[in-house]
Structure 1
Amino acid sequence: MTTETREPTRSLDASVIAALGAAERPPRANAVSSSLTFGWRALLKIKHVPEQLFDVTMFPILFTLMFTYVFGGAISGSTGDYLQYALPGILTQTVVFITMYTGLTINTDIDKGVFDRFRSLPVWRASLLVGALLGDTLRYGLASFMVLVVGVLIGYRAPGGFLGVILAVLLLLVFCFSLSWLWLIVGLKVRSPNAVMGTSMMVLFPLTFISSVFAPPETMPGWLQAFVDVNPVTLLCEAARGLMDDAPDSGDILIVLVLSAVITAVFAPIALRLYNTK
Protein backbone atom coordinates (compact mmCIF):
# COMPACT_ATOMS: atom_id res chain seq x y z
CA MET A 1 0.00 0.00 0.00
CA THR A 2 2.88 2.36 0.78
CA THR A 3 4.49 1.75 -2.60
CA GLU A 4 1.21 2.30 -4.42
CA THR A 5 0.71 5.65 -2.63
CA ARG A 6 4.19 6.97 -3.34
CA GLU A 7 4.19 6.17 -7.04
CA PRO A 8 1.28 8.50 -7.96
CA THR A 9 2.85 11.24 -5.78
CA ARG A 10 6.20 10.97 -7.55
CA SER A 11 4.44 10.99 -10.89
CA LEU A 12 2.52 14.12 -9.90
CA ASP A 13 5.72 15.88 -8.74
CA ALA A 14 7.43 15.02 -12.01
CA SER A 15 4.54 16.43 -14.04
CA VAL A 16 4.54 19.66 -12.03
CA ILE A 17 8.29 20.09 -12.52
CA ALA A 18 7.93 19.39 -16.23
CA ALA A 19 5.19 22.00 -16.52
CA LEU A 20 7.17 24.63 -14.64
CA GLY A 21 10.45 23.86 -16.36
CA ALA A 22 13.77 22.70 -15.05
CA ALA A 23 15.47 26.11 -15.15
CA GLU A 24 16.52 27.92 -12.02
CA ARG A 25 13.95 30.04 -10.26
CA PRO A 26 14.22 33.66 -11.46
CA PRO A 27 15.39 36.17 -8.86
CA ARG A 28 12.81 38.15 -6.98
CA ALA A 29 12.06 41.56 -8.48
CA ASN A 30 13.64 44.44 -6.61
CA ALA A 31 11.95 47.71 -5.75
CA VAL A 32 13.14 49.52 -8.87
CA SER A 33 12.20 46.82 -11.39
CA SER A 34 8.79 46.20 -9.85
CA SER A 35 8.03 49.93 -9.77
CA LEU A 36 9.04 50.28 -13.42
CA THR A 37 6.86 47.29 -14.30
CA PHE A 38 3.82 48.88 -12.69
CA GLY A 39 4.69 52.15 -14.41
CA TRP A 40 4.72 50.33 -17.74
CA ARG A 41 1.35 48.80 -16.84
CA ALA A 42 -0.05 52.31 -16.38
CA LEU A 43 1.06 53.18 -19.90
CA LEU A 44 -0.25 49.93 -21.39
CA LYS A 45 -3.70 50.75 -20.03
CA ILE A 46 -3.77 53.68 -22.44
CA LYS A 47 -3.29 51.25 -25.33
CA HIS A 48 -6.42 49.34 -24.36
CA VAL A 49 -8.42 52.41 -23.29
CA PRO A 50 -7.36 55.22 -25.69
CA GLU A 51 -9.98 57.51 -24.18
CA GLN A 52 -7.55 58.08 -21.31
CA LEU A 53 -5.53 60.26 -23.66
CA PHE A 54 -8.33 62.83 -23.84
CA ASP A 55 -7.28 64.44 -20.57
CA VAL A 56 -3.69 64.92 -21.77
CA THR A 57 -4.43 65.85 -25.40
CA MET A 58 -7.85 67.39 -25.97
CA PHE A 59 -8.19 69.17 -22.62
CA PRO A 60 -4.86 71.04 -22.91
CA ILE A 61 -5.75 72.12 -26.45
CA LEU A 62 -9.21 73.31 -25.40
CA PHE A 63 -7.90 75.14 -22.32
CA THR A 64 -5.23 76.95 -24.31
CA LEU A 65 -7.51 78.05 -27.13
CA MET A 66 -10.50 78.87 -24.96
CA PHE A 67 -8.77 81.02 -22.35
CA THR A 68 -6.60 82.79 -24.90
CA TYR A 69 -9.36 83.82 -27.27
CA VAL A 70 -12.14 84.32 -24.69
CA PHE A 71 -10.24 86.32 -22.05
CA GLY A 72 -7.28 87.65 -24.03
CA GLY A 73 -8.88 90.73 -25.54
CA ALA A 74 -10.72 91.70 -22.37
CA ILE A 75 -7.74 91.39 -20.03
CA SER A 76 -4.75 92.48 -22.10
CA GLY A 77 -6.31 94.21 -25.09
CA SER A 78 -5.05 91.59 -27.54
CA THR A 79 -4.86 87.83 -27.60
CA GLY A 80 -1.16 87.93 -28.47
CA ASP A 81 -0.18 89.93 -25.38
CA TYR A 82 -2.41 87.83 -23.15
CA LEU A 83 -0.97 84.60 -24.55
CA GLN A 84 2.53 85.67 -23.51
CA TYR A 85 1.29 86.13 -19.94
CA ALA A 86 -1.23 83.32 -19.69
CA LEU A 87 0.43 80.34 -21.36
CA PRO A 88 2.72 79.49 -18.41
CA GLY A 89 -0.38 79.68 -16.20
CA ILE A 90 -2.46 77.51 -18.54
CA LEU A 91 0.41 75.02 -18.58
CA THR A 92 0.44 74.99 -14.78
CA GLN A 93 -3.33 74.64 -14.48
CA THR A 94 -3.52 71.83 -17.04
CA VAL A 95 -0.86 69.66 -15.42
CA VAL A 96 -2.13 70.28 -11.88
CA PHE A 97 -5.65 69.31 -12.93
CA ILE A 98 -4.46 66.03 -14.44
CA THR A 99 -2.97 64.91 -11.12
CA MET A 100 -6.44 63.93 -9.92
CA TYR A 101 -6.42 60.94 -12.29
CA THR A 102 -3.83 59.24 -10.08
CA GLY A 103 -6.42 58.78 -7.35
CA LEU A 104 -9.06 57.91 -9.93
CA THR A 105 -6.90 55.11 -11.34
CA ILE A 106 -6.11 53.51 -7.98
CA ASN A 107 -9.76 53.72 -6.93
CA THR A 108 -10.82 52.02 -10.18
CA ASP A 109 -8.36 49.19 -9.50
CA ILE A 110 -9.87 48.77 -6.04
CA ASP A 111 -13.38 48.79 -7.45
CA LYS A 112 -12.54 46.08 -10.01
CA GLY A 113 -10.66 43.83 -7.57
CA VAL A 114 -7.26 44.20 -9.27
CA PHE A 115 -5.92 45.96 -6.20
CA ASP A 116 -6.14 42.85 -3.99
CA ARG A 117 -4.40 40.66 -6.56
CA PHE A 118 -1.48 43.07 -6.83
CA ARG A 119 -1.10 43.22 -3.06
CA SER A 120 -0.68 39.42 -2.98
CA LEU A 121 2.35 39.50 -5.31
CA PRO A 122 5.82 38.91 -3.81
CA VAL A 123 7.11 42.38 -4.69
CA TRP A 124 7.87 45.56 -2.83
CA ARG A 125 4.52 46.63 -1.43
CA ALA A 126 4.84 50.27 -2.46
CA SER A 127 5.82 49.48 -6.06
CA LEU A 128 2.19 49.69 -7.26
CA LEU A 129 1.85 53.25 -5.98
CA VAL A 130 5.29 54.38 -7.11
CA GLY A 131 4.77 52.79 -10.53
CA ALA A 132 1.42 54.52 -10.92
CA LEU A 133 3.06 57.86 -10.12
CA LEU A 134 5.86 57.25 -12.61
CA GLY A 135 3.36 56.42 -15.35
CA ASP A 136 1.32 59.51 -14.53
CA THR A 137 4.44 61.67 -14.62
CA LEU A 138 4.85 60.73 -18.27
CA ARG A 139 1.24 61.75 -18.81
CA TYR A 140 2.00 65.13 -17.25
CA GLY A 141 4.90 65.51 -19.67
CA LEU A 142 2.65 64.71 -22.62
CA ALA A 143 0.08 67.28 -21.47
CA SER A 144 2.83 69.89 -21.14
CA PHE A 145 4.01 69.11 -24.64
CA MET A 146 0.50 69.56 -26.05
CA VAL A 147 0.03 72.95 -24.36
CA LEU A 148 3.39 74.20 -25.60
CA VAL A 149 2.82 73.00 -29.16
CA VAL A 150 -0.58 74.70 -29.35
CA GLY A 151 0.85 77.83 -27.77
CA VAL A 152 3.68 78.04 -30.29
CA LEU A 153 1.28 77.47 -33.18
CA ILE A 154 -0.93 80.39 -32.14
CA GLY A 155 1.97 82.76 -31.50
CA TYR A 156 3.60 82.14 -28.09
CA ARG A 157 7.35 82.67 -27.90
CA ALA A 158 9.22 81.97 -24.67
CA PRO A 159 11.80 84.70 -23.88
CA GLY A 160 13.64 82.11 -21.78
CA GLY A 161 14.17 79.93 -24.81
CA PHE A 162 14.19 76.15 -24.96
CA LEU A 163 16.14 75.78 -21.71
CA GLY A 164 13.73 77.95 -19.78
CA VAL A 165 10.75 75.95 -21.04
CA ILE A 166 12.39 72.62 -20.16
CA LEU A 167 13.27 73.80 -16.65
CA ALA A 168 9.72 75.08 -16.13
CA VAL A 169 8.24 71.75 -17.21
CA LEU A 170 10.63 69.83 -14.95
CA LEU A 171 9.61 72.02 -12.02
CA LEU A 172 5.95 71.30 -12.79
CA LEU A 173 6.61 67.56 -12.93
CA VAL A 174 8.39 67.60 -9.56
CA PHE A 175 5.55 69.46 -7.87
CA CYS A 176 2.81 67.37 -9.48
CA PHE A 177 4.58 64.13 -8.57
CA SER A 178 4.45 65.18 -4.93
CA LEU A 179 0.84 66.40 -5.20
CA SER A 180 -0.21 63.03 -6.63
CA TRP A 181 0.44 61.41 -3.24
CA LEU A 182 -2.50 63.41 -1.88
CA TRP A 183 -4.80 62.06 -4.59
CA LEU A 184 -3.59 58.52 -3.84
CA ILE A 185 -4.87 59.01 -0.30
CA VAL A 186 -8.20 60.22 -1.66
CA GLY A 187 -8.36 57.25 -4.03
CA LEU A 188 -7.68 54.82 -1.19
CA LYS A 189 -10.24 56.37 1.15
CA VAL A 190 -13.34 57.24 -0.87
CA ARG A 191 -15.80 54.64 -2.12
CA SER A 192 -16.10 55.25 -5.84
CA PRO A 193 -14.29 56.86 -8.79
CA ASN A 194 -17.03 59.50 -9.00
CA ALA A 195 -16.33 60.47 -5.42
CA VAL A 196 -12.63 60.83 -6.24
CA MET A 197 -13.49 63.14 -9.13
CA GLY A 198 -15.84 65.26 -7.03
CA THR A 199 -13.43 65.60 -4.12
CA SER A 200 -10.53 66.49 -6.41
CA MET A 201 -12.52 69.11 -8.28
CA MET A 202 -13.66 70.69 -5.02
CA VAL A 203 -10.02 71.23 -4.05
CA LEU A 204 -8.45 72.02 -7.44
CA PHE A 205 -11.00 74.50 -8.77
CA PRO A 206 -10.42 77.22 -6.13
CA LEU A 207 -6.66 76.58 -6.09
CA THR A 208 -6.24 76.97 -9.84
CA PHE A 209 -8.77 79.71 -10.59
CA ILE A 210 -8.08 81.85 -7.51
CA SER A 211 -4.44 82.27 -8.45
CA SER A 212 -2.18 84.18 -10.82
CA VAL A 213 -2.81 81.67 -13.61
CA PHE A 214 -5.16 83.89 -15.64
CA ALA A 215 -4.74 87.40 -14.22
CA PRO A 216 -2.15 89.36 -12.22
CA PRO A 217 -2.90 89.37 -8.46
CA GLU A 218 -2.51 93.17 -8.42
CA THR A 219 -5.84 93.52 -10.23
CA MET A 220 -7.75 91.64 -7.51
CA PRO A 221 -9.33 92.90 -4.27
CA GLY A 222 -6.98 93.05 -1.29
CA TRP A 223 -8.68 90.26 0.67
CA LEU A 224 -8.52 87.96 -2.36
CA GLN A 225 -4.96 88.94 -3.19
CA ALA A 226 -3.91 87.83 0.30
CA PHE A 227 -5.05 84.29 -0.49
CA VAL A 228 -3.62 84.33 -4.01
CA ASP A 229 -0.16 85.31 -2.74
CA VAL A 230 0.09 82.21 -0.51
CA ASN A 231 -1.69 79.84 -2.90
CA PRO A 232 0.70 76.96 -3.83
CA VAL A 233 -0.53 77.07 -7.42
CA THR A 234 0.38 80.77 -7.60
CA LEU A 235 3.88 80.03 -6.30
CA LEU A 236 4.28 77.24 -8.85
CA CYS A 237 2.89 79.36 -11.67
CA GLU A 238 5.13 82.33 -10.90
CA ALA A 239 8.21 80.11 -10.70
CA ALA A 240 7.40 78.51 -14.07
CA ARG A 241 6.52 81.89 -15.60
CA GLY A 242 9.82 83.35 -14.46
CA LEU A 243 11.78 80.53 -16.07
CA MET A 244 9.88 80.80 -19.34
CA ASP A 245 10.12 84.62 -19.39
CA ASP A 246 13.89 84.56 -18.83
CA ALA A 247 13.44 86.16 -15.41
CA PRO A 248 13.86 83.24 -13.00
CA ASP A 249 13.19 83.96 -9.35
CA SER A 250 15.37 81.70 -7.24
CA GLY A 251 13.16 82.36 -4.22
CA ASP A 252 10.02 81.10 -5.97
CA ILE A 253 11.84 78.07 -7.34
CA LEU A 254 13.27 77.20 -3.93
CA ILE A 255 9.86 77.54 -2.28
CA VAL A 256 8.28 75.20 -4.85
CA LEU A 257 11.03 72.60 -4.37
CA VAL A 258 10.78 72.77 -0.57
CA LEU A 259 6.99 72.62 -0.75
CA SER A 260 7.20 69.56 -3.01
CA ALA A 261 9.53 67.84 -0.54
CA VAL A 262 7.24 68.67 2.39
CA ILE A 263 4.12 67.42 0.58
CA THR A 264 5.87 64.15 -0.28
CA ALA A 265 7.23 63.74 3.25
CA VAL A 266 3.77 64.26 4.77
CA PHE A 267 1.46 62.45 2.37
CA ALA A 268 3.63 59.60 1.03
CA PRO A 269 3.84 57.76 4.42
CA ILE A 270 0.10 58.19 4.91
CA ALA A 271 -0.63 56.79 1.43
CA LEU A 272 1.70 53.83 2.00
CA ARG A 273 0.13 53.08 5.37
CA LEU A 274 -3.37 53.19 3.91
CA TYR A 275 -2.23 50.93 1.07
CA ASN A 276 -0.75 48.36 3.48
CA THR A 277 -3.85 48.31 5.71
CA LYS A 278 -6.52 48.64 3.00
Structure 2
Amino acid sequence: MTTLAPTVPGSRRVDPAAAVARTASRSSLRETQTQVLAMAWRALKKMRRKPEQFFDVVIQPLLFTGMFAFIFGGAISGSVSDYLPVLIPGILAQTALTVCMATGVQLREDMDKGVFDRFKSLPIARIAPLAGPMVADLIRYALASVLTLLTGLAIGYRPGGGVLGCVGGVVLTVVAGWSLAWIFTWLGTMARSAQSVQGISMMIMFPLTFLSNAFVPAETLPGWLQAFVKVNPVSHVVSAVRDLFNDGKVTAEVGWAVAGCVVVVAVFAPLAVRSYSRKM
Protein backbone atom coordinates (compact mmCIF):
# COMPACT_ATOMS: atom_id res chain seq x y z
CA MET A 1 0.00 0.00 0.00
CA THR A 2 1.37 3.43 -0.95
CA THR A 3 1.79 5.90 1.90
CA LEU A 4 1.31 9.53 1.05
CA ALA A 5 3.34 12.26 2.66
CA PRO A 6 1.44 14.47 5.14
CA THR A 7 -0.24 17.48 3.61
CA VAL A 8 0.99 20.90 4.65
CA PRO A 9 -1.47 23.78 4.27
CA GLY A 10 -0.83 25.55 1.02
CA SER A 11 1.18 22.65 -0.44
CA ARG A 12 0.39 19.65 -2.64
CA ARG A 13 0.57 16.02 -1.57
CA VAL A 14 3.56 14.16 -2.98
CA ASP A 15 3.42 10.49 -3.90
CA PRO A 16 6.80 8.94 -2.94
CA ALA A 17 6.51 6.33 -5.70
CA ALA A 18 5.99 9.03 -8.30
CA ALA A 19 8.94 10.96 -6.91
CA VAL A 20 11.17 7.90 -7.19
CA ALA A 21 10.01 7.33 -10.77
CA ARG A 22 10.84 10.94 -11.69
CA THR A 23 14.26 10.63 -10.04
CA ALA A 24 14.96 7.42 -11.97
CA SER A 25 13.94 8.99 -15.25
CA ARG A 26 16.37 11.87 -14.62
CA SER A 27 19.41 9.64 -13.98
CA SER A 28 22.42 10.91 -15.89
CA LEU A 29 24.49 8.68 -18.14
CA ARG A 30 27.24 8.35 -15.53
CA GLU A 31 24.74 7.54 -12.79
CA THR A 32 23.09 4.95 -15.03
CA GLN A 33 26.45 3.32 -15.74
CA THR A 34 27.21 3.17 -12.02
CA GLN A 35 23.81 1.64 -11.28
CA VAL A 36 24.21 -0.96 -14.05
CA LEU A 37 27.62 -1.97 -12.68
CA ALA A 38 26.16 -2.24 -9.17
CA MET A 39 23.47 -4.59 -10.47
CA ALA A 40 26.12 -6.54 -12.38
CA TRP A 41 28.10 -6.99 -9.16
CA ARG A 42 24.95 -8.28 -7.45
CA ALA A 43 24.48 -10.81 -10.26
CA LEU A 44 28.11 -11.94 -9.99
CA LYS A 45 27.72 -12.54 -6.25
CA LYS A 46 24.57 -14.51 -7.00
CA MET A 47 26.51 -16.67 -9.49
CA ARG A 48 29.21 -17.31 -6.93
CA ARG A 49 26.64 -18.55 -4.43
CA LYS A 50 24.91 -20.69 -7.09
CA PRO A 51 27.69 -22.36 -9.12
CA GLU A 52 25.12 -24.58 -10.84
CA GLN A 53 24.42 -21.57 -13.08
CA PHE A 54 27.70 -22.44 -14.81
CA PHE A 55 26.71 -26.03 -15.66
CA ASP A 56 25.38 -25.11 -19.10
CA VAL A 57 28.50 -23.02 -19.70
CA VAL A 58 31.00 -25.70 -18.69
CA ILE A 59 29.34 -28.97 -19.69
CA GLN A 60 27.44 -28.06 -22.85
CA PRO A 61 30.47 -26.95 -24.94
CA LEU A 62 32.33 -30.14 -24.10
CA LEU A 63 29.32 -32.37 -24.73
CA PHE A 64 28.05 -30.84 -27.97
CA THR A 65 31.46 -30.27 -29.53
CA GLY A 66 32.58 -33.87 -29.01
CA MET A 67 29.21 -35.38 -29.87
CA PHE A 68 28.59 -33.42 -33.07
CA ALA A 69 32.17 -33.79 -34.27
CA PHE A 70 32.38 -37.56 -34.01
CA ILE A 71 28.78 -38.35 -35.00
CA PHE A 72 28.32 -35.98 -37.95
CA GLY A 73 31.90 -35.29 -39.03
CA GLY A 74 32.27 -38.25 -41.36
CA ALA A 75 28.75 -37.99 -42.77
CA ILE A 76 28.89 -34.27 -43.60
CA SER A 77 32.53 -33.50 -44.40
CA GLY A 78 34.12 -36.92 -44.82
CA SER A 79 36.21 -36.76 -41.65
CA VAL A 80 36.23 -35.16 -38.23
CA SER A 81 39.22 -32.95 -39.02
CA ASP A 82 37.52 -31.54 -42.15
CA TYR A 83 34.30 -30.91 -40.23
CA LEU A 84 35.84 -29.01 -37.31
CA PRO A 85 36.35 -25.69 -39.22
CA VAL A 86 32.62 -25.82 -39.99
CA LEU A 87 31.48 -27.09 -36.61
CA ILE A 88 33.36 -25.01 -34.02
CA PRO A 89 31.89 -21.61 -35.09
CA GLY A 90 28.45 -23.23 -35.21
CA ILE A 91 28.83 -24.63 -31.69
CA LEU A 92 29.95 -21.20 -30.51
CA ALA A 93 26.75 -19.64 -31.83
CA GLN A 94 24.58 -22.40 -30.36
CA THR A 95 26.27 -22.16 -26.96
CA ALA A 96 25.93 -18.37 -26.83
CA LEU A 97 22.25 -18.61 -27.74
CA THR A 98 21.62 -21.26 -25.08
CA VAL A 99 23.46 -19.32 -22.40
CA CYS A 100 21.69 -16.03 -23.12
CA MET A 101 18.35 -17.87 -23.02
CA ALA A 102 18.90 -18.38 -19.28
CA THR A 103 18.93 -14.59 -18.80
CA GLY A 104 15.19 -14.30 -19.33
CA VAL A 105 14.44 -17.30 -17.11
CA GLN A 106 16.46 -15.91 -14.19
CA LEU A 107 14.92 -12.47 -14.67
CA ARG A 108 11.41 -13.90 -14.45
CA GLU A 109 12.35 -15.86 -11.32
CA ASP A 110 13.56 -12.66 -9.63
CA MET A 111 10.40 -10.84 -10.62
CA ASP A 112 8.23 -13.66 -9.24
CA LYS A 113 10.12 -13.57 -5.93
CA GLY A 114 9.47 -9.87 -5.50
CA VAL A 115 13.10 -8.81 -5.88
CA PHE A 116 12.23 -6.26 -8.54
CA ASP A 117 9.58 -4.72 -6.30
CA ARG A 118 12.45 -3.52 -4.13
CA PHE A 119 14.32 -2.17 -7.14
CA LYS A 120 11.25 -0.21 -8.13
CA SER A 121 11.37 1.72 -4.84
CA LEU A 122 14.98 2.79 -5.47
CA PRO A 123 15.87 6.02 -7.31
CA ILE A 124 17.69 4.21 -10.12
CA ALA A 125 17.35 4.07 -13.88
CA ARG A 126 14.76 1.57 -15.03
CA ILE A 127 17.25 -0.11 -17.36
CA ALA A 128 19.75 -0.85 -14.54
CA PRO A 129 18.05 -3.97 -13.08
CA LEU A 130 17.76 -5.40 -16.61
CA ALA A 131 21.17 -4.50 -18.01
CA GLY A 132 23.14 -5.31 -14.85
CA PRO A 133 22.68 -9.09 -14.94
CA MET A 134 23.37 -9.05 -18.67
CA VAL A 135 26.72 -7.35 -18.09
CA ALA A 136 27.56 -10.05 -15.55
CA ASP A 137 26.55 -12.71 -18.09
CA LEU A 138 29.37 -11.52 -20.37
CA ILE A 139 31.63 -13.70 -18.21
CA ARG A 140 29.45 -16.72 -18.93
CA TYR A 141 29.47 -16.04 -22.68
CA ALA A 142 33.25 -15.65 -22.71
CA LEU A 143 33.78 -18.81 -20.65
CA ALA A 144 31.50 -20.87 -22.91
CA SER A 145 33.22 -19.57 -26.05
CA VAL A 146 36.74 -20.24 -24.75
CA LEU A 147 35.82 -23.76 -23.58
CA THR A 148 34.28 -24.55 -26.97
CA LEU A 149 37.42 -23.39 -28.75
CA LEU A 150 39.69 -25.32 -26.37
CA THR A 151 37.62 -28.47 -26.87
CA GLY A 152 37.98 -28.08 -30.62
CA LEU A 153 41.74 -27.64 -30.28
CA ALA A 154 41.93 -30.75 -28.12
CA ILE A 155 40.28 -32.93 -30.80
CA GLY A 156 42.33 -31.59 -33.69
CA TYR A 157 40.97 -28.20 -34.78
CA ARG A 158 43.68 -25.85 -36.04
CA PRO A 159 42.29 -22.37 -36.82
CA GLY A 160 44.02 -20.67 -39.72
CA GLY A 161 43.24 -17.22 -38.40
CA GLY A 162 45.76 -17.53 -35.59
CA VAL A 163 45.50 -15.93 -32.19
CA LEU A 164 44.04 -12.63 -33.41
CA GLY A 165 41.40 -14.40 -35.47
CA CYS A 166 40.37 -16.56 -32.52
CA VAL A 167 40.21 -13.56 -30.19
CA GLY A 168 38.11 -11.68 -32.72
CA GLY A 169 35.75 -14.64 -33.13
CA VAL A 170 35.30 -15.03 -29.37
CA VAL A 171 34.65 -11.30 -28.94
CA LEU A 172 32.08 -11.35 -31.74
CA THR A 173 30.37 -14.36 -30.16
CA VAL A 174 30.18 -12.60 -26.79
CA VAL A 175 28.73 -9.47 -28.41
CA ALA A 176 26.18 -11.55 -30.32
CA GLY A 177 25.17 -13.43 -27.18
CA TRP A 178 24.75 -10.19 -25.24
CA SER A 179 22.60 -8.62 -27.95
CA LEU A 180 20.40 -11.71 -28.38
CA ALA A 181 19.92 -11.81 -24.61
CA TRP A 182 17.77 -8.68 -24.91
CA ILE A 183 15.18 -10.78 -26.76
CA PHE A 184 14.96 -13.22 -23.86
CA THR A 185 15.01 -10.35 -21.34
CA TRP A 186 11.96 -8.91 -23.05
CA LEU A 187 10.31 -12.35 -22.93
CA GLY A 188 11.14 -12.53 -19.23
CA THR A 189 9.21 -9.33 -18.59
CA MET A 190 6.26 -10.45 -20.75
CA ALA A 191 5.74 -14.08 -19.70
CA ARG A 192 3.81 -15.15 -16.63
CA SER A 193 6.30 -17.66 -15.21
CA ALA A 194 9.88 -18.83 -15.54
CA GLN A 195 8.65 -22.12 -17.04
CA SER A 196 6.82 -20.30 -19.82
CA VAL A 197 9.92 -18.19 -20.54
CA GLN A 198 11.98 -21.34 -20.89
CA GLY A 199 9.42 -23.00 -23.16
CA ILE A 200 9.10 -19.98 -25.46
CA SER A 201 12.87 -19.52 -25.52
CA MET A 202 13.40 -23.11 -26.61
CA MET A 203 10.97 -22.61 -29.49
CA ILE A 204 13.05 -19.61 -30.57
CA MET A 205 16.45 -21.18 -30.00
CA PHE A 206 16.00 -24.38 -31.98
CA PRO A 207 14.82 -22.78 -35.26
CA LEU A 208 17.46 -20.06 -35.08
CA THR A 209 20.23 -22.58 -34.43
CA PHE A 210 19.35 -25.59 -36.53
CA LEU A 211 17.74 -23.68 -39.42
CA SER A 212 21.04 -21.94 -40.08
CA ASN A 213 24.42 -22.76 -41.58
CA ALA A 214 25.80 -23.67 -38.15
CA PHE A 215 26.11 -27.42 -38.74
CA VAL A 216 25.56 -28.07 -42.45
CA PRO A 217 26.37 -26.07 -45.62
CA ALA A 218 23.41 -23.98 -46.70
CA GLU A 219 23.86 -25.21 -50.29
CA THR A 220 22.70 -28.70 -49.28
CA LEU A 221 19.32 -27.45 -48.05
CA PRO A 222 16.08 -27.06 -50.05
CA GLY A 223 15.66 -23.74 -51.84
CA TRP A 224 12.89 -22.44 -49.57
CA LEU A 225 14.98 -23.25 -46.51
CA GLN A 226 18.06 -21.61 -47.98
CA ALA A 227 16.08 -18.37 -48.22
CA PHE A 228 15.43 -18.46 -44.46
CA VAL A 229 19.03 -19.43 -43.67
CA LYS A 230 20.33 -16.40 -45.59
CA VAL A 231 18.30 -13.96 -43.48
CA ASN A 232 18.81 -15.81 -40.18
CA PRO A 233 20.98 -13.58 -37.95
CA VAL A 234 22.66 -16.67 -36.47
CA SER A 235 23.89 -17.59 -39.96
CA HIS A 236 25.63 -14.24 -40.29
CA VAL A 237 27.27 -14.64 -36.89
CA VAL A 238 28.44 -18.17 -37.75
CA SER A 239 29.81 -17.07 -41.13
CA ALA A 240 31.60 -14.12 -39.53
CA VAL A 241 33.19 -16.30 -36.83
CA ARG A 242 34.28 -18.80 -39.49
CA ASP A 243 35.97 -16.05 -41.47
CA LEU A 244 37.79 -14.86 -38.36
CA PHE A 245 38.72 -18.31 -37.03
CA ASN A 246 39.67 -20.00 -40.29
CA ASP A 247 41.07 -17.11 -42.33
CA GLY A 248 41.69 -14.28 -39.89
CA LYS A 249 39.82 -11.88 -42.20
CA VAL A 250 37.33 -9.16 -41.33
CA THR A 251 34.84 -9.74 -44.14
CA ALA A 252 31.44 -8.31 -44.99
CA GLU A 253 29.86 -11.04 -42.88
CA VAL A 254 31.51 -9.53 -39.81
CA GLY A 255 29.92 -6.20 -40.68
CA TRP A 256 26.51 -7.80 -41.19
CA ALA A 257 26.80 -9.65 -37.88
CA VAL A 258 27.70 -6.49 -35.96
CA ALA A 259 24.92 -4.54 -37.69
CA GLY A 260 22.45 -7.28 -36.77
CA CYS A 261 23.52 -7.09 -33.13
CA VAL A 262 23.01 -3.32 -33.11
CA VAL A 263 19.52 -3.68 -34.61
CA VAL A 264 18.50 -6.35 -32.08
CA VAL A 265 19.61 -4.19 -29.14
CA ALA A 266 17.96 -1.07 -30.61
CA VAL A 267 14.64 -2.91 -30.96
CA PHE A 268 14.44 -5.18 -27.92
CA ALA A 269 16.21 -3.13 -25.23
CA PRO A 270 13.52 -0.38 -25.30
CA LEU A 271 10.79 -3.03 -25.48
CA ALA A 272 12.23 -4.79 -22.42
CA VAL A 273 12.51 -1.56 -20.42
CA ARG A 274 8.99 -0.47 -21.37
CA SER A 275 7.50 -3.85 -20.48
CA TYR A 276 9.42 -3.92 -17.20
CA SER A 277 8.16 -0.43 -16.29
CA ARG A 278 4.57 -1.41 -17.02
CA LYS A 279 4.71 -4.68 -15.10
CA MET A 280 6.43 -3.17 -12.10
* 2:21 equivalent in structure 1: none
Deviates more, 1:188-197 or 1:240-249: 240-249
Which 4+ stretches in 1 moved above 4 angstroms?
none
Measure, in 2, the Cα distance between the counterparts of 1:147 and 1:209. Answer: 18
Indicate conservation of the 8 Å contact 2:145/2:173, yes or no: no
**Comparing 173-182 with 227-236, which one deviates more in the overlay?**
173-182
Matches within 5 A, 1:2-151: 30-151=31-152
CA distance in 1, matches of 2:117, 2:182: 20
The question of whether the paired residues in 1 share the 8 Å contact of 2:165 and 2:248 is answered with no
1:102 & 1:238 partners in 2: Cα distance?
25
d(CA) in 2 for partners of 1:201, 1:83? 26
Deviations 1:106-145 (A, max 9, x none): 1010111111112212222211111111011211011101
- TM-score normalized by the length of structure 1: 0.86
Query: The residue matched to 2:247 in structure 1 has which SS?
Result: coil
Q: Aligned with 1:122: secondary structure?
A: coil
Q: Quick one: distance in 1 between partners of 2:48 and 2:193? A: 24
CA distance in 1, matches of 2:249, 2:94: 19
1:18 maps to which residue? none
Specify the code of the residue in structure 2 equivalent to 1:89. Answer: G
In structure 1, C-alpha distance between the alignment counterparts of 2:74 and 2:66, rounded to whole Å:
13
**Contact preservation (8 Å) 2:87, 2:214:** yes
- What corresponds to 1:3 in structure 2? none
Does 1:218 pair with 2:219? yes
Question: How far apart, CA to CA, are the structure 1 residues paired with 2:45 and 2:123?
Answer: 22
Find the aligned partners of 1:189 and 1:124 in 2 and give their Cα distance: 20
Tell me the secondary structure at the aligned position of residue 134 of structure 2: helix
Shift of 1:47: 1.6
Contact 2:96 2:173 (8 Å CA) reproduced = yes
Partner of 2:206: 205
SS at match of 1:53: helix
- Name the SS for the 1:157 alignment partner: coil
* Other structure's SS at 1:136 match: helix
Q: Tell me which residue corresponds to 1:238.
A: 239
Partner in structure 2 of residue 23 of structure 1: none
Q: Deviations over 1:70-102 (max 9, x none)?
A: 111111121111112211111111112211111
* Pairwise CA RMSD: 1.5
Task: Kindly report which structure 2 residues correspond to 1:257-276, keeping only aligned pairs within 5 A, or say none.
Answer: 257-276=258-277
Q: Map 1:180-191 onto structure 2 (within 5 A).
A: 180-191=181-192
> In structure 2, what is the Cα distance between the partners aligned to 1:234 and 1:245?
16
Structure with higher Rg: it is: 1
Q: Letter of the 1:153 partner, please give it.
A: A
Q: Distance in 2 between matches of 1:257 and 1:91?
A: 16
Distance 1:225 1:249 in 2: 24
Task: Give the number of equivalent residue pairs.
Answer: 251
Q: What is the distance in 2 between the residues matched to 1:124 and 1:249?
A: 36
Give the 3 Å change call, closer, same or farther, for CA 142–247 of structure 1 in structure 2.
closer
Match in the other structure for 1:162: 163
Distance 1:74 1:264 in 2: 38
| Aligned equivalents of 1:277, 1:100: Cα separation in 2 | 22
How much does 1:162 deviate? 0.9
Letter in 1 for 2:242: R
Partner of 2:14: none
Structure 1 CA distance for aligned equivalents of residues 232 and 88 of structure 2: 19
Mapped partners of 2:62, 2:120: distance in 1: 37
Structure 1 unmatched runs, 5+: 1-27
Amino acid of the residue matched to residue 265 of structure 1? A
- For structure 2, the 5+ residue unaligned runs are 1-27
* 1:146 maps to amino acid: L
What is the CA distance between 1:249 and its match in structure 2? 5.1
Aligned to 1:176: 177
